[in-house]
Amino acid sequence: MAWQIRKSKETFIYFGKGGILILLKKWRSHNMYDVIIIGSGPAGLSAAIYAGRAKFDTLIIEEKPMSGGQIVNTSEVDNYPGLPGVGGFELAQKMREHAQKSGVTFVKEQVVSVEDKQEKKLVTTNQNKYEAKAVIIASGASYRKLGVPGEERLTGMGVSYCATCDGAFFRNRTVAVAGGGDVALEDALFLARGCEKVYLIHRRDSFRGAKVLAEQVQTNEKIEILYDTVVEEICGEGMVEKIKILNKKTQEEKMLPVNGIFVAVGMVPNTVKVIPHLALDDTGYIKAGEDGRSSVPGIYAVGDVRTKQLRQVVTAVADGANAIASMESDGMIS
């Protein structure tokens, strides 16, 4: 019996007697790339686009169900040049499509470790092992939790970390937002469009978010601001029914009846589980400058996961481009 064997990147293709065609998926235990990008938010996708333009053999490892990072949870992105008011999901999809056209490869796997082997980096996932000449960490950040009783138990049952994702479930109802930064202010304004009432709970006596957002919140009749106040407990049987709050100045405690609470108290960088041997700052962000260079040659950090003053879509996109430029300057890819 004569067999003709053709080998592709993903499969072995066997043409057998009588035109029988058998496809067997190739077991990919070890693959070599020029660049591996961990994460597919704006920074990672931007890096992928520039890597593709440089003709680097590039792999993006994404853990989340969809690309885009935090912007997929944003109803409108109003500060991306040329696209005022574009939907976050729409922008993320356009970025992914652009990256795909650049010829990069996407896989949905969870990164377990990144090891520095001097001239090459070994990336281990829950399914495979990959090698690369350089690695870009674009793993972003996760929602910080309040850490109060009832939060874990009622997550998904009235406790949410994404107003644009879950706000529609609370139309004509009463909700609370915990936080005082840009995200908290944006969440309160977004929820006020459909909710009967929104309590904005902030532990300080003034907002740290953008002034224009603070002014909009302060003049919105549906939003009641509770300054110098913290959430102590989230209560309810099966669903959120009320929250226990404390005014730090007066020490007055009271129960506030709400149907849901949206937590917007910042982010935690996704670094520890990925590469614990990199130099981090006191809050866990990877130490890297505008050029993306980390403390380990050949490993770059971009987007929300690195130390930076401003975490926005436009700065994340710039990070991705800068990292590829640094990589070329460093002579990592030959």
Q: What is the mean pLDDT of the chain?
A: 88
Q: Exposure of 214 by Cβ count < 10 A (0-12 exposed, 13-18 middle, 19+ buried)?
A: middle
Using pLDDT thresholds of 50, 70 and 90, give the confidence band for residue 276.
Answer: low
Range with lowest mean pLDDT among 83-97, 233-247, 267-281, 318-332: 267-281
Residue 5 has pLDDT above 70, yes or no: no
Residues 6+ apart with CB under 8 A from 12: 5, 6, 23, 24, 26
Cβ atoms of 51 and 135 closer than 8 Å: no
Helix (H) or strand (E) segment spanning residue 6: strand 4-7
Q: How many CB atoms lie within 10 A of CB 172?
A: 9
Specify the pLDDT at position 295: 94
Range with lowest mean pLDDT among 10-19, 29-38, 265-274: 10-19
Using pLDDT thresholds of 50, 70 and 90, give the confidence band for residue 50.
Answer: very high
Residue identified by tokens 């885009």 is 68
Please state, in angstroms and rounded to a whole number, the distance separating the CA atoms of residues 284 and 281: 5
Residue 14 has pLDDT above 60, yes or no: no
162 catalytic residue (yes or no) = yes
116 catalytic residue (yes or no) = no
Using pLDDT thresholds of 50, 70 and 90, give the confidence band for residue 21.
Answer: very low
- Start-end ranges of CATH 3.50.50.60 in the chain? 30-143+267-329, 159-263
The rounded percent of the chain whose pLDDT value lies above 70 is 89
Please state, in angstroms and rounded to a whole number, the distance separating the CA atoms of residues 110 and 26: 20
Over range 281-310, report the average pLDDT: 93
Residue 227 has pLDDT above 50, yes or no: yes
Please state, in angstroms and rounded to a whole number, the distance separating the CA atoms of residues 188 and 259: 15
Pick the catalytic residue: 78, 165, 205, 281?
165
Specify the pLDDT at position 274: 64
pLDDT tens for 125-149 read 999 999 999 999 999 988 899 999 9
Residue 22 has pLDDT above 70, yes or no: no
More confident residue, 272 or 65: 65
Residue 25 has pLDDT above 60, yes or no: no
**DSSP track, 232-253:** EEEE-SSS--EEEEEETTT--E
The rounded percent of the chain whose pLDDT value lies above 90 is 69
165 catalytic residue (yes or no) = yes
pLDDT tens for 189-226 read 999 999 999 999 999 999 988 999 999 999 999 999 99
Task: Look up the CATH architecture of domain 159-263.
Answer: 3-Layer(bba) Sandwich (3.50)
Cβ atoms of 276 and 294 closer than 8 Å: no
Residue 74 has pLDDT above 80, yes or no: no
Specify the pLDDT at position 184: 96
Please state, in angstroms and rounded to a whole number, the distance separating the CA atoms of residues 39 and 30: 20
Pick from 13, 125, 119: nearest CA to 60? 125
Over range 107-135, report the average pLDDT: 92
Residues 6+ apart with CB under 8 A from 155: none
Whole-prediction pTM value? 0.73
Instruction: Domain 30-143+267-329: give its CATH code.
Output: 3.50.50.60
Pick the catalytic residue: 57, 166, 304, 319?
166
